[in-house]
Amino acid sequence: MVDDGRMLADVVRYLVCPVCGADLELADRRLVCSGGHAFDIARQGYANLLPGNARPGTADTPEMVRARDEFLTAGHFAALADRLAWNVSRADPAFVMDAGAGTGHYLSRILDRVPDAAGLALDISKHAARRAAKAHPRCGAVVADLWRPFPLRDGAADTVVNVFAPRNATEFHRVLRDDGLLFTVTPSPRHLGTLVEPLGLLSIDKAKTERMDTALSGYFKLDSRQELETETVLTHGEVITLVGMGPSAHHVPPERLRERLERLPEPLSAPLSFVLSTYRRLE
């Protein structure tokens, strides 16, 4: 698919140059600034705004992105996507930034709920950005490092969304408008609980939510918190995909995971447990 830059047209007014901080604008399939810096728009519709010295070593690979897209498209996390979209829609934002957006799955569901909003997907993986750029007609996608200054204007976003991704409190605070909201999603200690021991997966830190509150304090105050408990039925192949989407992928070798799965029934049910938090920006 060849795109002419229209996928970024709705969000370019919020973007700034990652080199000098000047405003960006569309020109001849590129994003350009007054300082003379230019960034090509890929044919899939996304722009790479990583500084030249950035190293996307933690970026999702093409295989990881395909697996994530397949798993989410199958609807296993549909209840989470619907709840998050409903929560965000109540704020009626005009511009939503998804920090660590992956394939754009959750942002797309949000934009479906908020018909007049535009969305920007930020992710360090260009493979994820390719999919996110096509996730929704009102979604733009940019490759960016969440641990560096975001290529966004101060106060540009009405809402920031952060689902299972790194949280840069300083930058979230900077790019949100004064009364902006931050929506986060993290797994609870009960998430995948019945699979943790038999498959040797990493357990969720029981203090994870408290640590998040502490990390965001000084920039945000907790406005509300919900827990979402559901379950899904998975084939062994889907379990492998699910494990590959999280931190256990780096601790359980694929061959060991398959050996352990062979001892379990197929299909099998797994509990899904999420914490959805809403934070208000502090002055």
Please report, in range form, the residues annotated as the binding site for S-adenosyl-L-methionine.
77, 103-104, 191
Instruction: Report whether 142 contacts 46 (CB < 8 A).
Output: yes
CA dihedral 152, 26, 96, 91 (to 10 degrees): 110
Coil, helix or strand for 238?
helix
Tokens of 16: 């700034």
Which helix (H) or strand (E) covers residue 280, if one does?
Answer: strand 268-281
Calculate the alpha carbon distances from 181 to 11, 150, 222, 277 in Å: 19, 17, 10, 10
Instruction: Report whether 49 contacts 8 (CB < 8 A).
Output: no
Q: Which residues contact 151 (CB under 8 A, 6 or more apart)?
A: 15, 16, 17, 18, 24, 49, 142, 144
Helical ranges in the chain per DSSP H: 6-9, 62-73, 78-89, 105-113, 126-133, 169-175, 193-199, 208-216, 236-244, 254-261
Residues making up the annotated binding site for Zn(2+) are 17, 20, 33, 37
Residues making up the annotated binding site are 17, 20, 33, 37, 77, 103-104, 191
